[in-house]
Amino acid sequence: MSDDHGTIESLSSLAHDAQESYPPAADFRAAANQNSSDIYLRAAADPEGYWAEQAQQRLSWKKPFTEVLDWTNPPFAKWFANGELNVAENCLDRHVANGLGDRVAYYFEGEPGDSRSITYAELTHEVKRAANMLASLGVTAGDRVAIYMPLIPETVIAMLAVVRLGAAHSVVFGGFSAESLRARIDDVEAELVITADGGYRKGRVSPLKPVVDQALVFDNADGKPSTVKNVLVVKRGGNDIDMVAGRDLWWHEEITAYDGEHTAQGFPAENPLFILYTSGTTGKPKGILHTTGGYLTQVATTHSDIFDLKPESDVYWCTADVGWVTGHSYGVYGPLANGATQVMYEGTPDTPNWGRWWEIIQKYKVSIFYTAPTAIRSCMKVGRQVPEQYDLSSLRLLGSVGEPINPEAWRWYHDVIGAGKTPIVDTWWQTETGAIMISPLPGLTTLKPGSAQIAQPGISVAVVDDEGNPVSNGNGGLLVVERPWPSMVRNVWGDPQRFIDTYWDKFGDKYFAGDGARLDEDGDIWFLGRVDDVMNVSGHRLSTTEIESSLVGHHAVAEAAVVGADDETTGQRVVAFVCIKTQQEILAPEDAEVVLKKHVADLIGAIARPANVYVVNELPKTRSGKIMRRLLKDVAEGKTVGDVTTLADTVAITAIAKQVSGN
């Protein structure tokens, strides 16, 4: 190929050109939880031994395990299977028993400005009462409870009360529709739904209980009513709601009947902990099943090592909603297992204005902050003058999750939020992996903006070609996990065949993650986006991420989404949607198309030059902040826009469809 620029194969040179590196500062390294690279060698020599040690040291077991991993029936793994523990006790009671009852577990900040702090002793007390309440509503070990809540302390209390009883929760993000909620309730056959009247979002009350009512009213596809017997309602929004007699109960009225005593029982380590649905690219959402012992071991280990948590002095804040896996693993279970002090914020970052997050960091002296690249880019778009008004000097470590972080956003995060000093951990993982798998360790790794870098100790990954052969450094391929890991997905709820087909069919005993990745010359991993986001233009494999990254690298561009639209001649063509930075008049929209096409061609190569560049006000995003490229592809191909049920709002996509068809 004469012009090979712009293919996945050329990304290493791009990565190489851009290679700035940030070694750990000497003082950070000296005080870091992990500061000897021996840990990698030790864990690689005996991964099961390493995880057994973590499980023993970081958790308290009611009955010690004697077997670490049972992989006799792949891909159905069992970790610590004959051990018994209680997850809630590990997150609560044992800290109180260790004299830490007065430590704050959560600083809660409501969107309207109300705030509350809850100590470990208080949280333990509330969870015990709630467990007694749920038990008398009939919840027992093995049951499933659906939770449809705003991000408030009662949500965590509800989750922990469910798991304290040996039952499993299925949290459904409060932005999902009645149909999506019902589908999830039906799939897990929940008999109890815990919800709130409403929660605050963007300055107003967003109703939740009315959505539950709507979800429960109809018969399902099989003509059956829902399995739900009771709906427990937390009062939060104060909005008017209907209560169905005999079915619906107010949390604050019921709870008065229960005292604080509840003895936690041990349950087997492979007892279900939660089922969380992932959207998937097509088809109905998959119910990802996680269990207790292995999950808690890996979330506790990674939370401590990757975020360098010092539970006695750090204030940690993960901005994710508990409706997503990040909220589960790094907003609830990992931090609580480690006895961390956390911030929980109910609302959106722009309410009442874009200073809200930075104000919260200043108020609580947050030292560790974990958020998503999409949020960082939104803040970049608003401009650095906003965070600069706040004292962010308490921050000592930043984290990123959810998609590849483009080097431009990485540098902004590092310089503007982190004062040019804080390490950034770019953490790769999935709902299915349960916990972080690939990330720098901040006391050890020399950071490279844009790369998630290396597998965690005890985790074994590879980048392979289509036949499953590992690629050498400098090459791209598919990411696989080579050995079972403690927090791995155990099954797709009710559909083992789908579990096998989706993750294990392609490479046998290796887990297929669905992400494209590339190894640079040093063997560090650079993610290239989902494999389904890889385009094929005239036989060249082009990465959406790579082109997006180059667009965002242009000084006038705030955000970009790239899709491969079907094209008769070239197979696919590159179509870009960009948001221009608002505060600067540096690029007139009418010039943008020409300028940005040239920019991409200059940076990556002619093959990557977008066929179209549309300047738009806003990109369509899911409620978890992921850009919905599938919808943009429909628009680019002139099709009717597909399923929009997971969108945060449909305004953006409607406007874009109008704009594109008018052109």
Q: Which is nearer to ligand 6R9, 333 or 428 (CB)?
A: 428
| Binding segment (CB under 6 A) for ligand 6R9, from list 12-20, 50-58, 412-420, 429-437 | 429-437
Q: Is residue 35 a contact residue for ligand 6R9 (CB under 6 A)?
A: no
Q: How far is the CB of 22 from ligand 6R9 (least distance, A)?
A: 17
Q: How far is the CB of 141 from ligand 6R9 (least distance, A)?
A: 27
Restricted to residues 363-402, the positions that interact with ligand 6R9 (CB under 6 A) are 401-402
Residue ranges in 517-556 that form contacts with ligand 6R9 under rule CB under 6 A: 527, 530
Minimum distance, C-beta of residue 338 to ligand 6R9, in the bound complex (Å): 19
What is d(CA 67, CA 85) in angstroms, rounded to the nearest whole number?
15
Which of 410, 428, 485, 503: binder of ligand 6R9 (CB under 6 A)?
428
Angle (CA) 426 430 435, round 5°? 75
Candidate list 291, 430, 487, 572; residue touching ligand 6R9; CB under 6 A: 430
- Smallest distance, ligand 6R9 to C-beta of residue 173, A: 11
Verify binding: residue 483, ligand 6R9, rule CB under 6 A: no
Say if CB 621 and CB 647 are below 8 A apart: yes
Could you say which residues in the range 437-476 bind ligand 6R9, by CB under 6 A? 452
- Which two tokens mark 45? 């020599």
Give the residue among 521, 546, 329 at the shortest CA–CA distance from 437: 329
CA 504 vs. chain centroid, Å, equals 22
Examine residue 515 and tell whether it contacts ligand 6R9 (CB under 6 A): yes
Assess 491 for contact with ligand 6R9 (CB under 6 A). Answer: no
Q: Give min distance, CB of 353 to ligand 6R9, in A.
A: 27
**Closer by beta carbon to ligand 6R9, 325 or else 607:** 325
Q: How far is residue 373 from each of residues 393, 429, 660, measured CA to CA in Å?
A: 21, 14, 26
CB of 627 vs ligand 6R9, minimal distance in Å: 11
Report how far residue 5's alpha carbon sits from residue 411's, in angstroms, rounded to the nearest whole number.
25
Q: Which DSSP string corresponds to 459-485? A: --EEEE-TTSPBPPTT-EEEEEE-S--
CB 448 within 8 A of CB 524: yes
Site for ligand 6R9 in 494-513 (CB under 6 A): 513
Most distant CA pair in the chain, distance: 77
Kindly tell me the number of DSSP H helices and DSSP E strands found in the chain.
Answer: 22, 30
Q: Decide whether 47 or 514 has the Cβ nearer to ligand 6R9.
A: 514
Task: Count Cα neighbours of 183 within 13 Å in the Cβ-side half-sphere.
Answer: 15
Please choose, out of 21-29, 262-270, 422-430, 492-500, the segment that lies near ligand 6R9 by the rule CB under 6 A: 422-430
Contact call for residue 413 and ligand 6R9 (CB under 6 A): no
Q: Which of residues 299-328 bind ligand 6R9 (CB under 6 A)?
A: 325-326
Q: Provide φ and ψ at 120, rounded to 5°.
A: -60, -35
| Token digits of residue 32 | 């870091």
Nearer of residues 91 and 436 to ligand 6R9, judged by Cβ = 436
User: Residue 206, interface with ligand 6R9 (CB under 6 A)?
Assistant: no
- Residues numbered 273 to 292 that lie near ligand 6R9 (CB under 6 A) are 278
> Helix crossing, 629-636 with 651-662: angle to 10°?
20
**H helices within 258-372, ranges in order?**
293-306, 325-328, 334-337, 356-364
Q: Which residue has the tokens 């002619």?
A: 606
Helix intervals (H) in 307-406 = 325-328, 334-337, 356-364, 373-382
| Least spacing, CB of residue 135 vs ligand 6R9, in Å | 32
CB of 403 to ligand 6R9, least distance (A): 5
What backbone phi and psi angles, to 5 degrees, belong to 471? -85, 160
Nearest distance from C-beta of residue 427 to ligand 6R9, angstroms: 5
Minimum distance from CB of 242 to ligand 6R9 (Å)? 34
Peptide bond into 75 cis (omega under 30): yes
Q: Which residues bind ligand 6R9 (CB under 6 A)?
A: 278, 325-326, 401-404, 426-431, 452, 513-515, 527, 530
